[in-house]
């Protein structure tokens, strides 16, 4: 694992054009956007995006494709955006020229060694591990462990994060971060200024809006880190050297250490003020003040998860009791990292079960309800359901999946869940056709569905490169009926970090 800013420009270019960088969440293995990115890159090679335009993309309202992940089974959502591949590749090409990459990485280096220790500098894997997996592993070592170490020196901890960080980022602040506020203001209309070019491409994908960047790609993580790094430098100017405090930041998550609540709260105000200047604000509901650093360093869900894990199977000898215990934990800490870890470990164990239990439908009902209350854990829960229903009689499987589907319909606006529900119902051995309205699911089913608005493109070659059929890289019906633990890569490889 190495930091992205330590990579060469061509290494960064290759990294950003990986399918796992374009969308850094988990999709079923038969879905990949890399073929489209590769073909678009070949068409754009050596040219600017304007050479392929009939109109300005900023004049079109659905250039990017948005889908949602429900966070609580009710009214809390996380929006994901798949940036239009032509604009995405144009951004990568712009950022990863030798001169531009050197300028950006040099600027990021100036933000280091200040009042804020950045623990979330984007990293890239150097083996088979995904970049997202490497990033999670980096968080564990850099943030949680160091937080506990700081208990030797500090008595108070404030833990807070930014509300809707990506959705609120003021895009003009990209130029401020890259060139400095004074120069960026002076050259506000200069289209040759690198920061303005990046800003312009991002705006062109989002209907000309200056508030917000797309969430869901390594590239936008990198852009957000540039802005947040600049905020770090502004804090250094105001607070000076950290002699009686420490600030750790992982992306938009801040931990402030001090020896009094008065000092910690004064620093929190400074953080809030600097973030406000780039359009962001701290989440009051998630701000926690702890007079015990060790206790505050580890999230409550993780502590509770450790306690639950240590109970072992002796305290819940049946699968149903183990599921009920998970369900109870999920009600207390829905969608938490600890729940994802516990569900993953349960998935690893339950696939070993070969006998058909008398209470099979009860087990399915409990697992399904856990998925409704914690949709973000659904890839692992889908694996559990796929195993349980595989044990049923052949004539009962379709009816069981139909009941699961009807239950899942109650989760509003959750395209991500439906993509994974399709994964476990699509295999030929199941024979259940998911009638989802999610466009990605429609494409998997062989139907025509649009992901990105491309009427602004004049080039037939570029339009051919954008053919959405290319995202299906293997036969969906040929996937195994049961999701193996290894198939859910991010969950399987990094569950220990939560």
At 4-54, the pLDDT tens digits run 999 999 999 999 999 989 998 889 999 999 999 999 999 999 899 999 999
Question: 325 near 346, Cβ under 8 Å?
Answer: no
- Mean pLDDT (whole number) for 58-67: 94
% of the chain exceeding 70 in pLDDT: 89
Contact 163, 254 (CB under 8 A): no
Residue 277, phi then psi, degrees to nearest 5: -65, -20
pLDDT digits (tens, 9 = 90+) for 278-299: 999 999 888 988 888 887 777 7
Mean pLDDT over 396-422 rounds to 88
CA-only gyration radius of the chain, Å: 24
Question: Quick count: other Cβ atoms within 10 Å of Cβ 68?
Answer: 17
Domain ranges in the chain? 1-110+300-497, 113-169+212-297
Residues 6+ apart with CB under 8 A from 433: 425, 445
At residue 453, the pLDDT reads: 97
For residue range 410-441, list pLDDT tens digits in order.
Answer: 887 788 889 999 999 999 888 788 888 899 99
> Is the separation of the CB atoms in 43 and 349 below 8 Å?
no
Q: Mean pLDDT score of the chain, rounded to an integer?
A: 89
DSSP structure class, residue 251: T
pLDDT band at 233 (very low <50, low <70, confident <90, very high): very high
Residue-level pLDDT at 130: 56
Calpha distance 330→346 (Å, rounded): 13
When pLDDT is cut at 50, 70 and 90, the band that residue 140 belongs to is: low
Provide the pLDDT for residue 242: 93
Least confident of 7-11, 76-80, 338-342: 76-80
Residue 117 pLDDT > 60, yes or no? yes
In CATH terms, 113-169+212-297 corresponds, of 3.40.47.10, 3.40.50.150, 3.30.70.270, 3.40.50.1860, to 3.30.70.270
Q: How confident is the model at residue 310 (pLDDT cuts 50, 70, 90)?
A: low
Reported as a single tens digit per residue, the pLDDT across 193-219 is 999 999 999 999 999 999 999 999 999
> In degrees to the nearest 10, what's the CA dihedral of 337, 22, 72, 62?
170
Cα angle 34, 37, 38; round to 5: 85
Mapping DSSP onto H, E and C, the string for 392-459 reads CCHHHHHHHHHHHHHHHCCCCCCHHHHHHHHHHHCCCCCCCCCCCCCHHHHHHCCCCCCCCCCCCECC
**Comparing 250 with 275, which gets the higher pLDDT?**
275
């Amino acid at each position: 694992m190495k930091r992205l800013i330590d990579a060469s420009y061509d290494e960064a270019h290759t990294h950003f054009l990986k399918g796992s960088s374009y969308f850094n969440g988990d999709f079923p293995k038969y879905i990949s956007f890399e073929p489209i990115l590769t073909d678009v890159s070949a068409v754009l090679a050596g040219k600017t995006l304007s050479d392929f335009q009939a109109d300005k993309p900023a004049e079109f309202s659905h250039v990017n494709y948005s889908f949602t992940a429900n966070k609580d089974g009710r009214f809390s959502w996380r929006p994901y955006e798949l940036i239009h591949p032509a604009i995405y590749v144009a951004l990568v090409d712009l950022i990863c020229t030798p001169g531009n990459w050197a300028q950006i990485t040099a600027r990021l280096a100036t933000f280091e060694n200040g009042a804020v220790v950045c623990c979330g500098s984007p990293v890239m894997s150097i083996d088979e591990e995904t970049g997202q997996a490497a990033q999670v592993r980096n968080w564990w070592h850099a943030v949680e462990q160091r937080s506990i170490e700081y208990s030797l020196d500090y008595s108070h901890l404030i833990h807070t994060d930014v509300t809707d960080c990506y959705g609120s980022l003021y895009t003009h602040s990209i130029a401020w971060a890259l060139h400095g506020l004074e120069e960026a203001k002076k050259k506000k209309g200069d289209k040759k200024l690198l920061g303005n070019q990046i800003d312009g491409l991002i705006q062109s994908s989002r209907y000309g809006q200056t508030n917000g960047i797309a969430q869901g790609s390594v590239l936008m993580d990198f852009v957000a880190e540039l802005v947040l790094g600049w905020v770090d430098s502004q804090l250094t100017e105001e607070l000076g050297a950290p002699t009686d405090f420490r600030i750790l930041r992982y992306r938009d998550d801040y931990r402030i250490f001090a020896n009094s609540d008065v000092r910690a709260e004064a620093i929190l105000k400074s953080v809030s003020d600097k973030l406000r200047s780039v359009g962001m604000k701290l989440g009051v509901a998630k701000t926690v003040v702890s007079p015990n650093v060790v206790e505050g360093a580890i999230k409550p869900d993780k502590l509770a998860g450790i306690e639950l894990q240590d109970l072992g199977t002796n305290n819940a000898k049946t699968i149903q009791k183990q599921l009920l215990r998970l369900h109870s934990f999920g009600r207390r800490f829905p969608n938490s990292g600890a729940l994802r870890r516990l569900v993953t470990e349960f998935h690893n164990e339950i696939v070993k079960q070969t006998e058909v239990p008398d209470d099979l439908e009860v087990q399915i009902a409990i697992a399904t309800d856990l998925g409704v209350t914690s949709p973000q854990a659904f890839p692992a829960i889908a694996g559990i359901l796929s195993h349980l229903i595989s044990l049923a009689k052949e004539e009962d499987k379709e009816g069981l999946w139909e009941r699961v589907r009807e239950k899942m319909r109650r989760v509003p606006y959750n395209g991500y869940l439906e993509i994974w529900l399709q994964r476990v119902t699509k295999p030929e051995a199941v024979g259940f056709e998911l009638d989802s309205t999610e466009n990605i699911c429609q494409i998997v089913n062989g139907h025509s569905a649009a992901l990105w608005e491309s009427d602004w493109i004049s080039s037939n070659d570029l339009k051919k490169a954008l053919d959405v059929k290319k995202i299906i890289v293997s036969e969906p019906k040929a996937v195994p009926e049961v999701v193996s633990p290894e198939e859910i890569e991010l969950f399987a490889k990094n569950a220990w970090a939560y």
